[in-house]
Each structure stands twice: as C-alpha cells, then as structure tokens.
C-alpha cells in the first residue's frame, strides 16, 4: 500500500444561502490513488466527524457513475476537474500527486444559488425544461417509436444531444454564466425528432426566454462549456438554437 | 414585427445583433483599409479615392448613417452583454482556469469589452483628427477640389503620439477580430463542427492581416519621414 499520499484542500464553506463563505484549509494524509474524488471527500468528512469540531462538508452526488449530473464541483478552477469528458464522480485521485493543493468551490452563478457549502440549487434548469423541454402529446410507448421512421444520422445526433445530464458545468465554467449549452442541447435533441418537431418554434422561444428570466448571462462563443461538458456536447447546439430562434421570430406566428 | 423587435432583445437576439453589426463593421474596415493603402499609390490616388467617396452625395450619407447605427448598436449590445455578465455571477471564483481543448477562452475573447471600448474611444479621436478636420484642399488632375487628406495623414503620423497610439489601437483591433471573426460566424448560426477549426484559423489570419495592414501605414510614415519615404509619392 505504497499508494497513499497527502493532499491539501481548500474548500469553500458557507453556512447557507446568502451567508458569507470562505475557503477553509484541510489536509488529508491517507489518500489512495484508486479513490474517486468524491470518495476522497467522504474520507475527509469521516475525519471531520471524528474530530468533532465542525460539521462535515456538504457536497452533492447521487449516482456516482456519471449519469445523474449531481456531482457538481469546481475543482482548481475547472468544472468537474482537469479531465475532459469526465464528471467529478468519475475523476480519480490518481490524477493528483503527493502534496498537491486542490481548491474546491461550488458552481457559481446567480441562477445557481448556493444552498450550503458546495451544494447549489440547480432548479433553474428544471424551469427551463418546464418551459418547453418536452413533447406535449402522447407519442406512444417504446415500441411505437419504431413506427415513425427516423433517419439514422438524425437519431444519432439527437441521442448525442440527449446525453446532457443537466449537471450545470457549462454554466459554471462560462465566463458569462450562460446556460446556452444546456438549453441548446435540450432543444437540439427534441427539435430534430419527428415527435418534437411540431413544437419546435414555440419550444425554442419559450426555453430561450426562460433562461433569460433565470438570470443566466449571454453567450459570447467562448466554447469553454464544450470543454468542461462531461458529455462533450458541441456548441453547434447553440448555433442551432439561434437558427431556430431566428426562424421563429421571423415567422412571427403564434409561437 | 413587434414580436421580431421583442425577439431582438432576448439573449439570442442580442447575439444576432452583435454578429450582424460586427460583420457590417468588418466589411467596412476591409474597404477602409483598401482605401488607406492608396496612400502608397501615385501622388493623388488617396485623395482621389476620398474625393470619389465624398462625391457620392446622399448615398454616402446613407452609408455613413448605416455605419454609425451599426457602430452604436454594436457597442451598446457589447456593453450590455458585459453588464449582464457581471450580474450573472455576483460572486466570482477564488480560482478559475480554462480547461483548454475546444475552449476559445483566450486573452482576445476575455478582453472583447476592453478592446471594444478602446476602439470606441479611438473612433471619436479618429473622426476628430481626420473626418472633421480641415486639412486644406488640393486640385486634382482630373478636376475637382478635394480635401488634402493625404497631407493631413502624412503630417499626423509624423507625430510619435499618433504613430504609436494608432499602432497600439490596431494591435487591439487585431485581438478584437481574433475572437470576433469566428464568434460572428457562430452567432449568426453558422457553427458547424467540420468547419469550425478552419473558420477560427481564418479569423486569426484575417485579424492579423487587418491589424498589420492598418498599423503599417502610421509606422511606415513615421519611420520613413513622410514624403521622404520610398513608397510615398508627394508633389
Ligand atoms: C472596427 C470596429 C469593430 C469591429 C470590426 C468589431 C467586430 C466585432 C465582431 C465581428 C464581433 C463578434 C460578434 C459576435 O460575437 O457575434 C464583435 C464582438 C464584440 N464587440 Fe466588436 N467590433 C468593433 C468595434 C467594437 C466597439 C466600438 C465595441 C465597443 C464596446 C465593441 C465591443 C464588442 C464586444 C463586447 C463584443 C463581444 C460580444 C459578445 O460578448 O459576444 N466592438 N466585434
Ligand atoms: S450541456 Fe454538458 S455541461 Fe451543460 S448541463 Fe448538459 S451535460 Fe452538463
Ligand atoms: S454523481 Fe451522478 S453524475 Fe456524478
């Protein structure tokens, strides 16, 4: 077991929404290279509980297998840490070495208020989905999907966009805190399928308006979102969202 | 129509506006550079080009009005995007770095508002120096009494403050375009994975061409000593 090493952590601690927060230093001596990042935080929390001086660090997770999008941490200034197409829960401590210092902060955006420590409220994304990220009519159960022919390339592209897990890394990493990649991915997924097509214009306008209302910033085409997205969603989704939005606005019909 | 105007105020609409006005300004600076380079042509080439423009009459006024609107709209939307960015993340990160890869977070992209505002301030000074100045007139060989802008240009750029000030601003223009060219394509919905890298590279080449093209003139005039310079013909 020569694989354990020491890590210094600077973790954002904040008692609640609108409370002041600050970075607090911790040192962890028994980090194993096979631990995931979240397991490393579990060990830290055991240590904090054992010492009994303060409350454990609150952080969010659910599946720990890269599919739920809950494990949102800003790790050394990068959403989900240093590796491309990797969620925090899929990041392993072997990416770090003895004596490293890791700064951990919550995702920061007006649309993602901090609940406690590293946990943020991402319900703004739910409201963007509620604004139009669905198909209004019953399209049948799974077997019925096969009764509507969909071009293979269309289905594949729709699926690529459907892999968005709503983690919010795109917002967190965007210098403008824009939610365009998330919204664009949802739109690009639904708008190109025959089930979603009839509501394309209404959906695009409604979801764009909602992301405005939630206080997310404008997109300046930095493409940082694509770099941090654990699913590698392309910013082509954003261009497509604009195209559909312009078409809807030019048509000017009841959207 | 009301709904279209409404749409322009949305996040996506603002982006389309920056893109359209940005492309308009790009087209303008291409023509502007082509005109400026006439200063290396024969004695009257530059003044003739300027005279031809001024002889367009009302058509020129329409073009100028369009340009003014594009400039102001572009600056207004750019500043409003920056303003909203500040509000969208009231508390910044203690530590932030780009993840690289497909990211275009660069000094150029992060400084659009800075380089943009410099360009705006520059524009005011620039108009005052050239457009609204009275350089005296010159009779063109083909007839017509033109403003002697060539003499004004040569005199202006022999002053170090102008020669180097313009050079600095043109470098910043290069940075603005370095991100702006590519960004405009994406804003105007033309992002396609296959061509994206190509467009980005083309943008950098274009930005370099524009910056070098524009800044060559003041520097050459300064170091060449105006009419003394090999490439410049005076009467
Ligand atoms: C010769 C003058 C200028 C040219 C050729 C130019 C060109 C461009 C282009 C092509 C873009 C990309 C548009 C897009 O992303 O959709 C852009 C963006 C921008 N421009 Fe300019 N621009 C000029 C002057 C200005 C001025 C005077 C300002 C004043 C504030 C400004 C501020 C900005 C800002 C802030 C952006 C980024 C917008 C964003 O965040 O997406 N620009 N410019
Ligand atoms: S687009 Fe990518 S980064 Fe953004 S929410 Fe979806 S999965 Fe996360
Ligand atoms: S915990 Fe579910 S994606 Fe990481």
Collect all residues with Cβ–Cβ distance below 8 Å to A163 and sequence separation of at least 6.
Answer: A231, A233
Strand A101-105 vs strand A4-14: parallel, antiparallel, or unpaired?
parallel
- Give CA–CA dist A126/A115, Å, rounded: 16
Both tokens assigned to B77:
């939307």
A229 close to B101: Cβ distance less than 8 angstroms: no
Q: Does B189 touch chain A if contact means CB atoms closer than 8 Å?
A: yes
CATH class of A4-116: alpha beta
Q: Find the A43 Cα to ligand 3 centroid distance in Å.
A: 18
Cβ contact, residue pair A224, B84, below 8 Å: no
Both tokens assigned to B3:
């709904």
Is B24's C-beta closer than 6 angstroms to any atom of ligand 1?
no
A198 close to B69: Cβ distance less than 8 angstroms: no
**Distance between alpha carbon A252 and the CA centroid of its chain, in Å?**
33
- Closest by CA to B176, choosing from B234, B120, B233, is B120
- Give CA–CA dist B16/B189, Å, rounded: 9
Quote the ipTM score: 0.93
pLDDT of residue B2: 55
Q: Does A79 touch chain B if contact means CB atoms closer than 8 Å?
A: yes
Model pTM score: 0.94
pLDDT of residue B1: 46
Residue nearest atom 41 of ligand 1, based on CA coordinates: A220
Index of the ligand 3 atom closest to the CA of residue A165: 3
- Give CA–CA dist A82/A98, Å, rounded: 17
The position carrying tokens 């966009």 is A161
Q: Does B150 touch chain A if contact means CB atoms closer than 8 Å?
A: no
Both tokens assigned to A90:
């899929």
pLDDT of residue B214: 98
How far is residue A190 from each of residues A69, A195, A241, B72, measured CA to CA in Å? 19, 8, 11, 37
- Give CA–CA dist A91/B29, Å, rounded: 48
A199 close to A246: Cβ distance less than 8 angstroms: no
The position carrying tokens 């949102």 is A72
A79 close to A169: Cβ distance less than 8 angstroms: yes
Cβ contact, residue pair B95, A12, below 8 Å: no
Both tokens assigned to A103:
């700064």
Collect all residues with Cβ–Cβ distance below 8 Å to B102 and sequence separation of at least 6.
Answer: A223, A226, A227, A234, A235
A127 close to A214: Cβ distance less than 8 angstroms: yes
Q: Is A53 exposed, middle or buried (0-12, 13-18, 19+ CB in 10 A)?
A: exposed
A167 close to A74: Cβ distance less than 8 angstroms: no
Q: CA triplet A208, A210, A216: central angle to 5 degrees?
A: 85
Q: Which residues pair with A101 in a beta bridge?
A: A8
Q: Per CATH, is A123-251 categorized as 1.10.10.60?
A: no
Phi-psi region of A192 (alpha: psi -120 to 50; beta: other; left: phi over 0): alpha
pLDDT of residue A27: 97
pLDDT of residue A121: 98
Collect all residues with Cβ–Cβ distance below 8 Å to B89 and sequence separation of at least 6.
Answer: A108, A109, A110, A177, A217
- Give CA–CA dist A106/A134, Å, rounded: 29
For residue B29, count other CB atoms closer than 10 A to its CB: 16
Of the candidates A218, A222, A227, the beta carbon closest to that of B15 is on A218
B103 close to A223: Cβ distance less than 8 angstroms: yes
Both tokens assigned to B126:
């620039």
Per CATH, which fold does B2-93+104-229 belong to? 3 helical TM bundles of succinate and fumarate reductases (1.20.1300)
A36 close to A89: Cβ distance less than 8 angstroms: yes
- Give CA–CA dist A36/A80, Å, rounded: 12
Q: Is A235 helix (H, G, I), strand (E, B) or coil?
A: coil
What string of pLDDT tens digits covers the 255 residues of chain A? 557 999 999 999 999 999 999 999 999 999 999 999 999 999 999 999 999 999 999 999 999 999 999 999 999 999 999 999 999 999 999 999 999 999 999 999 999 999 999 999 999 999 999 999 999 999 889 888 888 899 999 999 999 999 999 999 999 999 999 999 999 999 999 999 999 999 999 999 999 999 999 999 999 999 999 999 999 999 999 999 999 999 998 887 654
Give B161-172 as a DSSP string: HHHHHHHHHHHH
Q: What is the CA radius of gyration of chain A?
A: 20
Q: What is the CA radius of gyration of chain B?
A: 20
Q: Does A37 touch chain B if contact means CB atoms closer than 8 Å?
A: no
Provide the residue ranges of all domains of chain A, joining segments of one domain with +.
Answer: 4-116, 123-251
B83: number of CA atoms within 13 Å, CB side?
Answer: 8
How far is residue A149 from each of residues A136, A199, B113, measured CA to CA in Å? 20, 19, 48
Residue nearest atom 1 of ligand 2, based on CA coordinates: A182
What string of pLDDT tens digits covers the 235 residues of chain B? 457 788 888 999 999 999 999 999 999 999 999 999 999 999 999 999 999 999 999 999 999 999 999 999 999 999 999 999 999 999 999 999 999 999 999 999 999 999 999 999 999 999 999 999 999 999 999 888 999 999 999 999 999 999 999 999 999 999 999 999 999 999 998 877 778 889 999 999 999 999 999 999 999 999 999 899 889 998 7
Residue nearest atom 25 of ligand 1, based on CA coordinates: B116
- Closest by CA to A205, choosing from A246, A158, A161, is A246
How far is residue A192 from each of residues A147, A187, A197, A207, B185, measured CA to CA in Å? 17, 8, 6, 16, 22
């Amino acid at each position: 077991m020569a694989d354990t090493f020491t890590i210094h952590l600077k973790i954002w601690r904040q008692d609640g929404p609108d409370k002041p927060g600050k970075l607090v230093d911790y040192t962890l001596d028994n980090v194993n290279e096979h631990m995931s990042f979240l397991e490393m935080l579990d060990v830290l929390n055991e240590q904090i509980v054992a010492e009994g001086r303060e409350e454990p660090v609150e952080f969010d997770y659910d599946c720990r297998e890269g599919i739920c999008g809950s494990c949102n941490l800003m790790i050394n200034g990068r959403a989900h840490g240093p590796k491309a197409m990797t969620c925090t829960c899929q990041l392993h401590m072997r990416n770090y070495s003895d004596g490293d210092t890791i700064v951990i902060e919550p995702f920061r955006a007006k649309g993602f208020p901090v609940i406690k420590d590293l946990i943020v409220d991402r319900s703004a994304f739910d409201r963007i989905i509620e604004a139009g990220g669905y198909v209004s009519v019953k399209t049948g159960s799974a077997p019925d999907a096969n009764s509507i022919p969909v071009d293979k390339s269309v289905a594949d592209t729709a699926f690529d966009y459907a892999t968005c897990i709503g983690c919010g890394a795109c917002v967190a990493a965007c210098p403008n805190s824009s939610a365009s990649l998330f919204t664009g991915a949802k739109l690009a997924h639904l708008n190109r399928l025959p089930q979603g097509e009839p509501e394309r214009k209404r959906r695009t306008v409604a979801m764009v308006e909602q992301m405005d209302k939630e206080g997310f910033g404008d997109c300046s085409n930095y493409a940082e979102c694509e770099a941090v997205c654990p699913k590698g969603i392309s910013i082509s989704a954003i261009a497509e969202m604009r195209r559909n939005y312009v078409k809807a606005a030019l048509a000017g019909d009841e959207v | 129509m009301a709904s279209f105007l409404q749409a322009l105020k949305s996040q996506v609409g603002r982006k389309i506006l920056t893109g359209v006005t940005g492309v308009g300004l790009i087209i303008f600076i291409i023509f502007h550079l082509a005109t400026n380079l006439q200063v290396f042509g024969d004695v009257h080439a530059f003044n003739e080009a300027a005279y031809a423009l001024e002889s367009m009459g009302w058509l020129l006024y329409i073009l100028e009005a369009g340009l003014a609107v594009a400039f102001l709209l572009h600056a207004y939307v750019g500043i409003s995007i920056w303003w909203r960015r500040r509000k969208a993340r009231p508390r910044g990160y203690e530590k932030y770095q780009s993840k690289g890869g497909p990211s275009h977070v660069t000094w150029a992209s992060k400084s659009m508002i800075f380089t943009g505002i410099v360009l705006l301030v520059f524009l005011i000074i620039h108009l005052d120096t050239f457009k609204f100045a009275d350089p005296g007139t010159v009779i063109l060989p083909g007839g017509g009494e033109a403003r002697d802008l060539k003499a004004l240009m040569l005199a202006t750029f022999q002053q170090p403050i102008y020669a180097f000030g313009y050079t600095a601003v043109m470098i910043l223009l290069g940075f603005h375009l370095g991100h702006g060219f590519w960004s405009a394509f994406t804003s105007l919905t033309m992002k396609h994975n296959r061509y994206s890298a190509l467009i980005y590279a083309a943008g950098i080449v274009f930005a370099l061409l524009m910056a070098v093209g524009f800044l060559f003139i003041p520097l050459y005039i300064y170091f060449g000593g105006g009419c003394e310079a090999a490439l410049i013909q005076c009467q």
